[in-house]
Amino acid sequence: MWLARRLERAEAENVAAWRDCDGSGAVEALEIGGGFAVFGGPTSPLTHALGLGMYGPMAAEELDRIEAYYRERGAPITIELCPFADPSIFELLGKRGYRITEFNNILVRTIDPPPGDITNDLRRAEASDAVLYTRTVTEGFLETTEFSPEQLSVSETLFRMACGAVWLAYVDGAPAGAASMSIRDRLALLFGDATIKAYRRRGIQSDLIKARIAHAAEQGCDLITASTLPGSQSQLNYERLGFRVIYTKLIFTGE
């Protein structure tokens, strides 16, 4: 339980930190129920509640506040829950007709053993790489070169994470992929992995994982975590590098 609390709190604080690093002021975060309800726009993937119910029962009034928070902003109500959250929150969601719409595997790895050799051309992104990073990540996720401002803003926010570090991967001098990480209390959180479709199956994501493991070791971390969709290629890539699934989160959607 202590490990789940450490992971959930770190991820919740990491997502809520987007509020402080987003220059537009469009990202908001309400601390509640042991976690945060984050809003980054009505259709933004940042818009969801997480880290709830990890330190005790959750009151109906707290769920009322979360629902009102999102409804006032014209956003859907999405709640990401750890299976070790207090049973009270699952009961509340069931009574209000919430349904499970997605699962998300949480993987963990210790710093040792070393991650292995990197074969692709990777570089740490600098401040001047903001636009390049943003477009690379967005194209990798969406598999298109036509983006809306809101879609680009999510990747831009990842780049500006105050405690983060980002990498770019190149193939023959062309940007091929990117990835991010942040560190909280010696826990490294890996996220934002994206490879442009034309450059997949070249080991780019694996090398981006290796680079971040090495950086986490240099920064004195004792544990590394990432999340993936169950059975995805990303999960397989992480598992090949020593990560193991320790629990599966449930994503609930309300009306």
For CA atoms 208, 214, 217, 223, give the dihedral sign. positive
Asked if 101 and 117 sit in the same domain, the reply is no
Asked if 146 and 174 sit in the same domain, the reply is yes
* 252 found inside a domain: no
What is the structure's pLDDT at 162?
Answer: 46
What is the domain range of residue 13?
Answer: 2-105
Asked if 121 and 62 sit in the same domain, the reply is no
Domain total in the chain: 2
* 241 found inside a domain: no
Residue ranges of the chain whose pLDDT lies below 70:
18-26, 149-164
What is the structure's pLDDT at 116?
Answer: 86
Burial class (CB in 10 A: 0-12, 13-18, 19+), 243: buried
* 156 found inside a domain: yes
Q: Which residue has the tokens 């009961």?
A: 91
Asked if 142 and 85 sit in the same domain, the reply is no
Asked if 133 and 71 sit in the same domain, the reply is no
Q: Is 250 helix (H, G, I), strand (E, B) or coil?
A: strand
Instruction: Please report, in angstroms and rounded to a whole number, the separation of the first and last CA atoms in the chain.
Output: 31
Asked if 86 and 154 sit in the same domain, the reply is no
Asked if 140 and 155 sit in the same domain, the reply is yes
Asked if 128 and 211 sit in the same domain, the reply is yes
* 32 found inside a domain: yes
Asked if 120 and 95 sit in the same domain, the reply is no
Give me the helices (H) in 73-203, please: 87-95, 130-142, 149-159
Inter-residue contact 1 to 84 (CB < 8 Å): yes
* 63 found inside a domain: yes
Inter-residue contact 177 to 166 (CB < 8 Å): no
Asked if 100 and 134 sit in the same domain, the reply is no
* 56 found inside a domain: yes
Domain boundary among 76, 105, 134: 105
